[in-house]
Amino acid sequence: MEQNRGPIGQRQRCSSGLTTKKSSPPPPILLRSNQKMSSIGTGYDLSVTTFSPDGRVFQIEYAAKAVDNSGTVVGIKCKDGIVMAVAGLAADGRQIVARAKSEARSYESVYGDAVPVKELSERVASYVHLCTLYWWLRPFGCGVILGGYDKDGPQLYMIEPSGISYRYFGAAIGKGKQAAKTEIEKLKLSEMTCKEGVIEVAKIIYKLHDEAKDKAFELEMSWICEESKREHQKVPDDLLEEAKTAAKTALEEMDAD
Amino acid sequence: MDLNLDAPHSMGTTIIGVTYNGGVVLGADSRTSTGMYVANRASDKITQLTDNVYVCRSGSAADSQVVSDYVRYFLHQHTIQLGQPATVKVSANLIRMLAYNNKNMLQTGLIVGGWDKYEGGKIYGVPLGGTVVEQPFAIGGSGSSYLYGFFDQAWKENMTKEEAEQLVVKAVSLAIARDGASGGVVRTVIINSEGVTRNFYPGDKLQLWHEELEPQNSLLDILNAAGPEPMAI
């Protein structure tokens, strides 16, 4: 039943291998500005090669809105690995994943070693950005959270439709990203193992899900850590069940107050 | 005997790369020949690719120089993108890419050696066809033929820096004694976590081997001189 076809956009890349270390600390977990009031482009939004008088490229902002309307995706870097939860859909994601695979393959065939996560995320970001430069291409309508394990340990990157890419300790995109980010900031990630992280992330996703507004959802999680032998895999079923149960219990406790 | 001064410059050569406990030692002779004429008797065959990776060149002088130049250029860009020094493995693979893809046109055997923080000291041999093989030590060039047996006996794991360098100097010196296309001085480059050290051993200061004569002022002196030293191991 679980055909994780949909959430591939928010899939993670895995590379076991070398190099790369981003020395500067990642920016705090905040993303785009909230555009609650939708400003109309009125003529300046017809093409991605048009600037508005106030210096905005509306097509890129609309692309970001496409992401905001999709289900929430959360990723966190624990002290020993990465955990990502997927609960949404992104059609363009498949294309990005194909490109990421191709870039990783090409790096390996030229340099003879697995692609460092930083390098891969920069190449994917470059490709996403490319699609914002020409009028005959449209920007990608999906964000990517990319997690991997290379010679410098586990790393988490996020790439937005504009082509920006940063390294994060925790990241969220989609509908409930603001709330998710608030929850993530409460966690002490540097002291958390991946096993604990799985439970925490499940709790966050369940918390964000509004029974009234949203449709029923299916929680999928994947991770890359020592326990998964530094390979990307779906979180094992028993741990996933444990996480779901813990999350539901936590919700009930909250409601009971 | 015709000199054929128009023959392409070849570095007959003896080149060696050896790992030790903490880094690598690269060594080479210094003779560049054009047919029978020694075009350069003090060449430097150990070329820098990055701060932490060097390559020993043998075979066609031109081919090996051009390959080194390309790889230095690629590695420079790679270092900028990566944000940190390139690894020895990546350097060796770039050399291999050029050597393999242009195998019909190139005639150069290379030994890549260096130090990086992930793997420590590493030596990679890239012989004629473009194979790349990681080895604890590698020898190359025309002079290396005379060193296979020597290394079988003298090589050991986890040498100290001094032992490794002495081994390299001795080996190059032995090869120079037997190979007409190798000669001149012995140059060594030591690469480890602390950095790079270049050393120079002039030809006339090297140990004399079996049947090698002392430098003479006059041939008449031979009649009065003592016999040559027996070979020492």
Q: Mind telling me how many Å the CA of B82 is from chain A's nearest CA?
A: 6
Residue in chain B closest to A151 (alpha carbons) equals: B118
A139 burial level (CB within 10 Å; 0-12, 13-18, 19+): buried
If you search the block for the tokens 């950095």, which residue do you land on? B195
CATH number, position B137? 3.60.20.10
From the list B81, B118, B132, the residue facing A18 with the nearest CB is B118
The mean pLDDT of chain A is 75
Q: Mind telling me how many Å the CA of B48 is from chain A's nearest CA?
A: 19
DSSP-assigned letters across all residues of B119-171: TEEEEEEE-TT---EEESEEEESGGGGGTHHHHHHH--SS--HHHHHHHHHHH
Chain B contacts in chain A segment 44-83 (CB below 8 A): none
Residue A76: band (very low, low, confident or very high) from pLDDT cuts 50, 70, 90: confident
A134 SS3 class? coil
In a domain, B130, yes or no: yes
Q: Which of B81, B131, B133 to mutate to test the interface with A (most CBs of A within 10 A)?
A: B81
**Chain A hits for B81, Cβ within 8 Å:** 119, 122
Element (H, E) at B178: helix B161-178
Q: Mind telling me how many Å the CA of B142 is from chain A's nearest CA?
A: 29
Residue A82: band (very low, low, confident or very high) from pLDDT cuts 50, 70, 90: low
- Give the single-character DSSP code of A189: G
In a domain, B231, yes or no: no
In a domain, B213, yes or no: yes
Give the separation between CA B179 and CA B38, rounded to whole angstroms: 13
What positions of B carry a catalytic annotation?
Answer: 13
**Strand order, beta sheet including B186-192:** B137-140, B15-20, B23-28, B186-192, B195-201
Question: Which of A144-148, B36-40, B216-220 is least confident?
Answer: B216-220
Residue A87: band (very low, low, confident or very high) from pLDDT cuts 50, 70, 90: very low
- Can you give the pLDDT at residue A18? 26
In a domain, B136, yes or no: yes
Torsion sign (Cα): A223, A226, A227, A233: positive
**pLDDT per residue over A237-247, tens digit each?**
888 888 888 88
- Give the single-character DSSP code of A227: T
Element (H, E) at B18: strand B15-20
Start-to-end CA span in chain B (Å): 37
Residues of B with CB under 8 A from a CB of A: 78, 81-84, 87, 89-90, 92-94, 96-97, 118, 132
Spell out the alpha helix ranges (H) of chain A.
58-68, 93-111, 117-130, 177-186, 194-208, 237-256
Give the separation between CA A38 and CA B124, rounded to whole angstroms: 60
From the list A110, A112, A118, the residue facing B89 with the nearest CB is A112
- Give the single-character DSSP code of A34: P
- Can you give the pLDDT at residue A9? 32
Element (H, E) at A146: strand A144-150
Judged by CB atoms closer than 8 Å, whether chains meet at A110 and B97 is answered as: yes
- Domain total for chain B? 1
From the list A112, A119, A151, the residue facing B118 with the nearest CB is A151
Judged by CB atoms closer than 8 Å, whether chains meet at B82 and A22 is answered as: no
| Phi, psi dihedrals of residue A64, rounded to the nearest 5° | -65, -35
| Phi, psi dihedrals of residue B111, rounded to the nearest 5° | -125, 115
Amino acid of residue A205: I
- Can you give the pLDDT at residue A89? 39
Tell which residue, A74, A72, A49, A73, has the closest CA to residue A59: A49
Parent domain of B205:
15-226
Per the structure block, which two tokens stand in for B215? 């430098």
Residue B66: band (very low, low, confident or very high) from pLDDT cuts 50, 70, 90: very high
Judged by CB atoms closer than 8 Å, whether chains meet at B118 and A111 is answered as: no
Element (H, E) at B229: none
A251 burial level (CB within 10 Å; 0-12, 13-18, 19+): middle
Question: Which of B99-108, B158-167, B204-213 is least confident?
Answer: B204-213
A177 SS3 class? helix
Q: Mind telling me how many Å the CA of B32 is from chain A's nearest CA?
A: 31
B96 SS3 class? helix
**Chain A hits for B71, Cβ within 8 Å:** none
Chain B contacts in chain A segment 151-170 (CB below 8 A): 151
Give the separation between CA B171 and CA B139, rounded to whole angstroms: 10
Counting one residue from chain A and one from chain B, the pairs whose CB atoms sit within 8 A come to: 38
A12 touches chain B (CB under 8 A): no
- Can you give the pLDDT at residue B31? 95
Average pLDDT (B158-173) is 96
In a domain, B3, yes or no: no
A18 touches chain B (CB under 8 A): yes
From the list B83, B84, B90, the residue facing A111 with the nearest CB is B90
Tell which residue, A160, A188, A192, has the closest CA to residue A63: A160
The ipTM, to two decimals, is 0.79
Residue in chain B closest to A20 (alpha carbons) equals: B82
- Can you give the pLDDT at residue A252? 83
Start-to-end CA span in chain A (Å): 35
Give the separation between CA B58 and CA B139, rounded to whole angstroms: 10
In a domain, B131, yes or no: yes
- Can you give the pLDDT at residue B160? 97
Give the separation between CA A248 and CA B44, rounded to whole angstroms: 71
- Can you give the pLDDT at residue A189? 82
| Phi, psi dihedrals of residue B11, rounded to the nearest 5° | -105, 90
| Phi, psi dihedrals of residue B216, rounded to the nearest 5° | -115, 145
DSSP helix, strand, coil percent of chain B (3-state; round to 5): 30, 30, 40
The mean pLDDT of chain B is 92
Residue in chain A closest to B90 (alpha carbons) equals: A111
Q: Mind telling me how many Å the CA of A58 is from chain B's nearest CA?
A: 30
**Chain B hits for A151, Cβ within 8 Å:** 118
Q: Which of A103, A111, A117 to mutate to test the interface with B (most CBs of B within 10 A)?
A: A111
CA A22 to chain CA centroid, Å, is: 19
A24 touches chain B (CB under 8 A): no
- Can you give the pLDDT at residue A6? 31
**Chain B hits for A116, Cβ within 8 Å:** 82
A108 touches chain B (CB under 8 A): no
**pLDDT per residue over B87-103, tens digit each?**
999 999 999 999 999 99
**pLDDT per residue over A183-221, tens digit each?**
889 888 888 888 888 888 888 888 887 655 666 677 777
In a domain, B5, yes or no: no
In a domain, B232, yes or no: no
- Give the single-character DSSP code of B215: P
Report percent pLDDT > 70 for chain B.
92
A122 touches chain B (CB under 8 A): yes
Give the separation between CA A104 and CA B76, rounded to whole angstroms: 20
Q: Residue A216: how many CB atoms within 10 A of its CB?
A: 6
